Structure 1
């Protein structure tokens, strides 16, 4: 991966293998498990119904967040990968802490639509720009709504996976676009290659951060 490739097209190329067993396959594992629970009962699964054994290979990438407001999520449980990316325990922090300021309004819009929507998932393509002693780091994030439980705040099952070397922390991300996400296929078809389609979010080309 070339460090200077920070355009959306480069992100599509870098992430094109995530449905065929690449570095971002953790997102598919989590989504497939969530979709299976939903299909079995006809409604959104609840936090209490989640069994980590169902997506054990992706646990390091997973998180559970709850709605603090219509446009904000607070992380309640986080996997080790998020700690590695930020250099700190992210529990209790807002999800937006992992997003660069210029992309936070986009994240807020996606969260608002997710919480008020029909139960559809949201999948985002991200980049942490290159800077001093850090290569560009491409990433994918998925947000999966969970059912309310006894009037408690709405919870979200999510996952974040990256392609590249983490380098110095913290690594915060710009949102490049939302990935059009076809419905998960049955288990026997999961190995088939499916190229993601990126809907680019306007906001310009990522510029490298200053060295100091």
Structure 2
């Protein structure tokens, strides 16, 4: 069988043939138009097929050959803290969007800072409920960066210990990627229960200031300054009780050593 350099080890173009020009780097979207709905539907259907009557499938059940048509867009997440997860595995499309290997990176790296709070809330609801989340994304146009629209799907999985700390997902962006890295704004999100008819856990703000501006402390002590503070008092409320203690006595001079 001939190898890449021909049967005799020479160039397959021959001695007198011109050398081929350096190849152009191609992205997935340059090779085949992205079929967003198909990719999302296939991954969702694969996850449903892994359940076998269970509410949540196991991470060990996921095999790359089972999602080979969507593999370039798929990823596996590991929950590392409340509202935070990192990539354990990621497809080629995510590498193209970021312009580098993304394994070990946090999921929030794909979003602008203004959208990371909401992503954290949605992600935590996926692990806690657990439930399914679908997120609409957009990346505005810039120099060397055409506008992109995308969707993200998050499907919970159980780890080897039985807790829901893994997720199967995909990120699909439509359009020419342009200059990497590409980051997105979170436009909207939809969460749904893993069991039809079950209660949905709405993503809640994980910290003050996401849903509405956080109240600012004006420096004045509260009216009931003498009352004991509750256990859930905020740092601002505790600082409002601090008092500056002055000592007008001059410092004592150290005496002679014995």
Give me the TM-score of the superposition, normalised by structure 1.
0.71
Distance 1:112 1:100, change over 3 A: same
Deviations 1:118-154 (A, max 9, x none): x321000000111112111000000000013226771
Secondary structure in structure 1 of the residue aligned to 2:36: coil
Equivalents in 2 of 1:181, 1:115: separation in Å?
13
Cα RMSD (Å): 2.3
Q: 1:148 aligns with which of 138, 156, 159?
A: 159
Equivalents in 1 of 2:164, 2:155: separation in Å?
15
Query: Once the 2 structures are TM-superposed, how far is the Cα of residue 162 of structure 1 from its aligned partner?
Result: 1.1
Deviations 1:69-105 (A, max 9, x none): 1110011101000000000000000000111000000
Structure 1 residue runs of 4+, over 6 Å off?
180-183
Per the alignment, residue 92 of structure 1 pairs with: 104
Q: 5+ residue gaps in structure 1?
A: 1-20, 184-201, 204-212
Equivalents in 2 of 1:171, 1:127: separation in Å?
10
Q: 1:64 aligns with which of 76, 82, 94?
A: 76
1:138 paired to 2:141? no
Equivalents in 1 of 2:121, 2:56: separation in Å?
21
Query: Once the 2 structures are TM-superposed, how far is the Cα of residue 182 of structure 1 from its aligned partner?
Result: 10
Structure with more helix by fraction: 1
Distance 1:137 1:111, change over 3 A: same
Q: 2:136 aligns with which of 120, 125, 141?
A: 125
Q: 1:55 aligns with which of 67, 77, 84?
A: 67
Higher-Rg structure is: 2
1:164 paired to 2:175? yes
Higher relative contact order (CA 8 A, sep 6+): 1
Per the alignment, residue 77 of structure 1 pairs with: 89
Deviations 1:149-202 (A, max 9, x none): 22677111110111111001000010000147799xxxxxxxxxxxxxxxxxx9
Q: 1:178 aligns with which of 178, 189, 192?
A: 189
Per the alignment, residue 47 of structure 2 pairs with: 34
